[in-house]
Structure 1
C-alpha cells in the first residue's frame, strides 16, 4: 500500500475527493478542511493499493494539485486493516508488477546526480577492477562490479527517453560519461603509481589471463548479457525489488572494461585499450536499449489497464 498526503486548494478539494473515491484500491480517506498553512489549503490523506497508485497520481496531477498544492507519497510497510485488505483485492494486478512512474523518475533523478560520492565510488570501483585485471583475479572483478554505481545513470537515461524528459536523460548521460572519464583518468594514474612501486608490471598485462581476458575481447555474448542485465535491472527498479540490482551489477563488464582500458593506456597497449573501450560501449548500449524497451513495454501494459482503475461512486 501507498500513503498519500495531499495539500489541496479549497476550491479543488471536492474534485480531489471524487477522484480518490472513483479510483479502485483506495481507502482510509481523511479530509481536514483548512488544516494546511504553507501552502494554504485542505489536508487530504488516503491509502491506495500500489497497483492503482500511478493512475491516482496521474489524475491528481491533471487537477494541478502538484502545482498549486502538494503531493507526498510514502510506502506503507505494515497495515492492519480489513478495509486495506479489501482495497488490495479490489485493485487489478499484483503490487510487485505495479509501476509508479513518478517514483521511478524521482529515484533515477537522485541516482544519476554527478556528486562527489558518485565519482568516488566510480573511481574506487575502477581501481579495484584494475587490480583484478592485472592479477587475473575474478573475485576482485566481481567486487568492483558490485561497487560500481553506473546503473543509476543508465536507468536515468532510459527513464528520460521513455518519459520524454530530455533534462533527466541529458543529466544522466553526462554523469555516466564524466564518471567513466574521471575513473579511467584516475585509474591510469593509479596504474602508473603501482608500476613505480613495483606492484604492477607490463608483463602481467600480457600474460595469459583466463579469468579476465573476456574484458577486452568483446563478442556477441557481451551484448546479449548486457541486454539481459538491462532488462533485469529495469524490472527490479519498477517493481521495487532492489535486491536484484546486485545481480545486475555483477553481470556486466562496464567498470572492469574501463579499468582494463586505463591499465592498457598506462602501458601504451592500444590494442587492449580499444578492445576494452569497445566492450564498455557495447555493454552500455545493450543496457540502455534493453532498459528503454522494458519501460516501453510497461507503459503499453499500463495504458491497456486504464479502464480498470475506475469504479462508480456510491449514490446518496
Structure 2
C-alpha cells in the first residue's frame, strides 16, 4: 500500500479531484500557503499496483514533473472504498505485484551510491575477497560479497532500458565497467604485495587452493548463478522486497572471480586469469540479460506512449546482442566444462586401471596405496600431466613389470602423453 502526496498546480484542482472521484479514491485536501504556483496538497492512499496508472492519468490531467509527488509506504488503510480499489487492481499476477514505474526508477537510482563511495567499497570488497581466496576461507569470501555495492549498477542498466531512461542506462554501464576494472586491479595489487612481502609461503601454487582453482576453471553452472541473480534482483526490486540478500548473490557472481583473476595476474600467470575474467564478463552480461527480460515480462514500459515502439525495438536489440555474447561465452565455458569432465573421467580410469593391474595374480604381493593425478597449468583447459601411483610390497627390489604395465594401461585412457611415476614403499615383515 502507498500514500501519495500531490501538490496541485494552479487551475488544475478541480480536474484532479474529478479524476480521483471517478476512480472512487479517498483523499484529503489541504490548502497550500507557500505563495508558490500551487493551490493545494492532496493526500490519498493507493494499492501498490494502482500507483502507476493513477499517476499516469493525473499527469494527463495536468500534473507535470515540476510538481511535487511523494509516494511512501502505508502500513494500514481502513476504508471500504480502498478495499474495493484493492479488489480492482490486485489480481494476483506479476503486473499487479510489482511497484510502479516511478518507484522502480527511484529505487534503481537510490541503489547506486556516489562514485567515490562505489569505487571505495568495490576496492575494499575486492581486497577482502582476495584475502579470503588466499586463506582458502569461504567465510571471508562471503564477507566480501556483503560489502560489494554492485546491485545498483547491475540492475540500473536494465531499468534504464525498459523505461527509456538512457541517462540511467549509460551511468549504470559505466559503473559496471569501472567496477570490474577496479576489482581486478585492486585484487592484483593486493595479491602482489602479499606475495612480494612473503605473507604467504614462497612458491605457493594458487591452483592448489580450492577457493581459487574452482574460479580459474569455471564451468557452465556459473551461468545459472548469474542468471538467477539477475532474475532475483529484478523481482526483489520490482516487488519492493529487500534487495540486501540479492545484492550478496549478485556480488557472489562478480567479486570472487574478479579477485581470482587479480591473484593469477599477481602470480605472473596471465593464462590462469583467462577463465576467471571470462567468468566475470559472462556473469555481468547474464545479470543484465536476465534483468531486461524479467522487467519486460513484468510489464514495465516507458512513460511516453509515443516512445514505446522505439524503446521496444531498442530493448529487443539489446536482448539479442546480450544473448549472442552470452552464448559465445557459454560455448567457451562449455569447453572448460568438457575438459574438466575429461580430467575427472581420466582420474577415475587411472584409479581403476591401477587396481586391475595390482589385482593380477602376477603382482599378488603388491598393494595399491594411492593414485594421484597431477594436472598441467594450461589454464583454463587443464588436463592430466603426471600420474603418481604409490604401491606397497615386500622388502627388496620393486617388481620391474609393474611400472611398464601401469604406464601402458593408464596412457590408453587419454589422448595425451602422460608420465606415470611409481612410488614403491617396502613393507617390513614382522
Name the TM-score class by shorter chain. 0.7 to 0.9
Matches within 5 A, 1:218-229: 218-229=218-229
Q: Given that residues 123 and 182 in structure 1 are in contact (C-alpha distance below 8 angstroms), is that contact kept between their aligned partners in structure 2?
A: yes
In the comparison of the two structures, how many residue pairs are matched? 300
Contiguous gaps of at least 5 residues in structure 2? 304-430
Q: CA deviation at 1:256?
A: 0.7
Q: Deviations over 1:7-47 (max 9, x none)?
A: 111311222122223336x32x1223454534433222211
Q: Given that residues 112 and 149 in structure 2 are in contact (C-alpha distance below 8 angstroms), is that contact kept between their aligned partners in structure 1?
A: no
User: Residue in 2 aligned with 1:310?
Assistant: none
Q: CA deviation at 1:51?
A: 1.6
Structure 1 CA distance, aligned partners of 2:106 and 2:197?
Answer: 45
User: Residue in 2 aligned with 1:91?
Assistant: 89
Contiguous gaps of at least 5 residues in structure 1? 304-316
Q: Given that residues 12 and 62 in structure 2 are in contact (C-alpha distance below 8 angstroms), is that contact kept between their aligned partners in structure 1?
A: no
User: Residue in 2 aligned with 1:131?
Assistant: 131
User: Residue in 2 aligned with 1:75?
Assistant: 73
Structure 2 CA distance, aligned partners of 1:179 and 1:229?
Answer: 17
User: Residue in 2 aligned with 1:246?
Assistant: 245
Matches within 5 A, 1:1-316: 1-23=1-23, 26-27=25-26, 29-81=27-79, 83-93=81-91, 97-200=97-200, 203-243=203-243, 245-247=244-246, 249-250=248-249, 252-299=252-299
Q: Given that residues 126 and 187 in structure 2 are in contact (C-alpha distance below 8 angstroms), is that contact kept between their aligned partners in structure 1?
A: yes
Report 1 or 2 for greater relative contact order, CA contacts < 8 Å, sequence distance ≥ 6. 1
Structure 2 CA distance, aligned partners of 1:57 and 1:93?
Answer: 19
What value does the CA root-mean-square deviation take over the aligned residues?
A: 2.6
Q: CA deviation at 1:288?
A: 0.5
Aligned residue for 2:241, secondary structure, equals: coil
Q: Given that residues 162 and 300 in structure 2 are in contact (C-alpha distance below 8 angstroms), is that contact kept between their aligned partners in structure 1?
A: no
Q: Given that residues 156 and 169 in structure 1 are in contact (C-alpha distance below 8 angstroms), is that contact kept between their aligned partners in structure 2?
A: yes
Higher share of residues assigned helix: 1
- Give the TM-score, by structure 2 length: 0.64
Q: Given that residues 48 and 97 in structure 2 are in contact (C-alpha distance below 8 angstroms), is that contact kept between their aligned partners in structure 1?
A: no
Aligned residue for 1:74, secondary structure, equals: strand
Structure 2 CA distance, aligned partners of 1:88 and 1:265?
Answer: 57
